Structure 1
């Protein structure tokens, strides 16, 4: 087979998967059953710049009864004082981190213990909920419902990293993490915005079952499926927005911490490199062959479709080849760091014992 034909096939794969997943991606809507109470649970460590707007949006929730609980996890920047100024918000202090746990997972487990709701909505402090988001997610009636919030991107560095989340989920994961299959290996969830039914959560062991991971969303989704519970991915743009990072440095460090529990494995990463580089970078080296041009067009077309559905800024679409290149560089860096014994870590904590999701 000619090189251009191989490149075109590698570009056609994510285009077809992306088209199917985008068509089938559901929108959460509807009214939850009477008696539904959603506990909005926010782990926070040094989130003084985020926590206020996050709480204001959560407290504006409509469509069902909610409670809002924040776990201050050893903040040193005034996060707790800000939370204390919001009436109706319960502020808890995280106990010392036990051995074998990662910080966010431990905070989420303690938040779940304190919650009184029929549903638990785990929310990152940089996420801004839409008013009916909690009710709409609970109305799905699925044991786990998750979504990638609309990503607000304010710099070139963010544009080279953040859009890869939706692109990878929708264009390379068969069924896009939906309930079409219960195969645990195809489970997906976004830890930024994740709702679970309390009963299903407790039957799976909750966050205690994934105590040593950093990529909590995917790990918890796999636990649910292994226990026989359905997990669902819905369109996130109508539900919430989020600015994950500010600048390339923050984005690089943030994605680096999760890479070893995702693509950056000795067996998996060469395969991912073939798929991603072969479909989105190699065609540029094969120009001006007609097949190479077609492969490049497919890459931009599917990236534009994902941006449209996720309400991402249009100016990020022309950066698509560079986004793929940065993603691969990040994954190979994570793999090399792991081989050299560098611990994973985040927000001042190192986790040498973190395990794959």
Structure 2
């Protein structure tokens, strides 16, 4: 493979450092055609679907895409905002705030966001950072718990991109932060803030995205990391074993996935007489289809229809100050040894830039 053309080299140019916040992705619009493009890229990833390629090609293109695209588009339309995809908007705002906060903490780094599937595409973002003179890149997945189906797929995309690059930047990859103290504290503050306004539930349900059970049997640590996150958060919230439960959502296909499944669990809780449940999705750091539609709409209806009285969905971390602080701490720990510290004069400029970042994030939220 012939390497891509390198940017023009300038003698004396100072190499820059960048942090790339990478999320799963989202369709460009809540339409059948846009969703079909997105699903095709997503479900064609061998990390996501471990079925022989030839057989899966016919299943995907002959059955799933024709039948699922329109139904999924309707679901996306139910949570779409005037500014676009919630997941994309939250991820962009997190990146904007993270750059400002890193500057306040004394670091001269660029911060960009990218999507594993959809836009802005990870290879395009990496190419732009190279053109901007970034020779040190930290990849920060938006997934606290590692899985071969998510985090590893991001790493695949990074490595694949650089197979065609002659002058590869220095790379660092964040594998996971499921038990990072700042992440757990951000979750704790989010839950306690919600309970301060709405009181406590009879049961807290921590719903994580599901993966096929066979991945656990083959050595994927995702299941264990989800449960560790839940245990640490429950301890911080001073919850007994009877006050919370871990479940897994978003099952796809007929194979057995990690259990217990979220929707059937909520139905059982309602039938067992649990009046109020609060559902938190700790594995999602930005609200998206799986939280806003699958949980806050579908799961709510399941619980209430089965006899439950109150269903509360606790939003994702999104742009909460504690989460931006956690992101900065996670990034800092992986930047150690790289020359990112600002001079005193640059620090003052960074403070002003941070204020501008917060204002930009506010305007993004206002749709301006």
Q: TM-score range by the shorter chain?
A: under 0.3
Please report the TM-score for the alignment, with normalisation by the length of structure 2.
Answer: 0.27
Please report the TM-score for the alignment, with normalisation by the length of structure 1.
Answer: 0.28
